[in-house]
Amino acid sequence: MEWNSESLENQIGIQFKHSDTLRLALMHRSYAEQIGESEQNNERLKFLGDAIVNLVITDYLYHNCPYLEVSNFKGLRDKLVEGQRLTKLWYQLGLGEGYPFLGLTQERHRLRLQNHNPFEEALIALVGAIHQDRGFSQARNWLVKQLIAPLLERHLKKIKERSSPNKQLRFLGDAVLKGIVADYLYGYLPNVKVGNLNDLFKELTSKDNQSNFINQITTEELTALNLGNEKVLGKSFKALLAAVYLNRSAENDKRGFAETENWFVERFVDQEQVLRKAIRLLMEDGRSQKWIVRHVMGYESKDYHAGRDRFNQVMEG
């Protein structure tokens, strides 16, 4: 299928560096199967987009609504991601009649009324694609402009005092953790299906792992981070991660997300172990060693022997 993204990019208001990423966001599973490219669908981008949307909304509420309780944060977040609201935005952008690419027999106006319809899913995948192609700050700015500000901006108050600062910080940290783990897994494990990514995501973000992470932080390291409020940050990994994110973002707004992710991965993630667990999940699903070496580990056919050696090294670790 010939693909020209220029007019679509103008409708969305984002110029993509790699138009194939935009195309992937628009590939519903039904269409991908219809054209014989079943694995080239938008489900991985939706996995990423879910976490990015959650973080963008949480970040906005944290910075613009300090006077609200965390329970209000949750209510507003849920309201913003209602399926029909996302579907309405998709159509307001002028995308509903042609996108996403569908292989379904039902008419679009009927699909539009369904819960978890292809349009809301494509919008989430689109946010994932913007983040993947242009970075977190671009995805954040686009989502604030298109979804969040139209609903909330006129209701904002000028109150700066935080109602529950520690709870709000942990709430933000939860979203940061989910965002950076989803982004890390998406990039580190190409072509791995969403089901496997979810298994690894749940493990990396589990309460047990959060306890392990915070226990690894020494008093000296916490002091060196120079984040303040050490008594609170030393007890909650979510609060600590939020503080790192806020600090990095204050220093460089465009790089804050990426630098927080780099710090987290380098400090707490055993990447060999993550890859080993991913390989085991893939082999349980029937994937061959050759497929994993080529499509997940990234070795070209001419380098297969080196890839096989690396595969064995990982599995023996």
Domain ranges of the chain: 1-163
**Looking at domain 1-163, does it have CATH number 1.10.1520.10?**
yes
Q: What is the pLDDT of residue 250?
A: 96
| Mean pLDDT per 10-residue section of the chain, whose length is 317 residues | 82 96 96 92 99 99 98 98 97 93 88 92 98 98 98 95 96 99 99 98 98 94 89 91 97 97 98 98 97 97 97 95
Specify the pTM: 0.96
- The DSSP code for 99 is -
pLDDT at 233: 87
Residues 181 and 308: their CA atoms lie apart, in Å, by: 27
Residue 153 carries which DSSP code?
G
pLDDT of residue 238: 98
Q: What is the pLDDT of residue 2?
A: 59
* 310: β partners: none
How far apart are the C-alpha atoms of 244 and 260, rounded to whole Å?
7
In whole angstroms, what is the distance from residue 247 CA to residue 268 CA? 19
Would you state the pLDDT for residue 131? 99
**What is the predicted pLDDT for the residue at 106?**
82
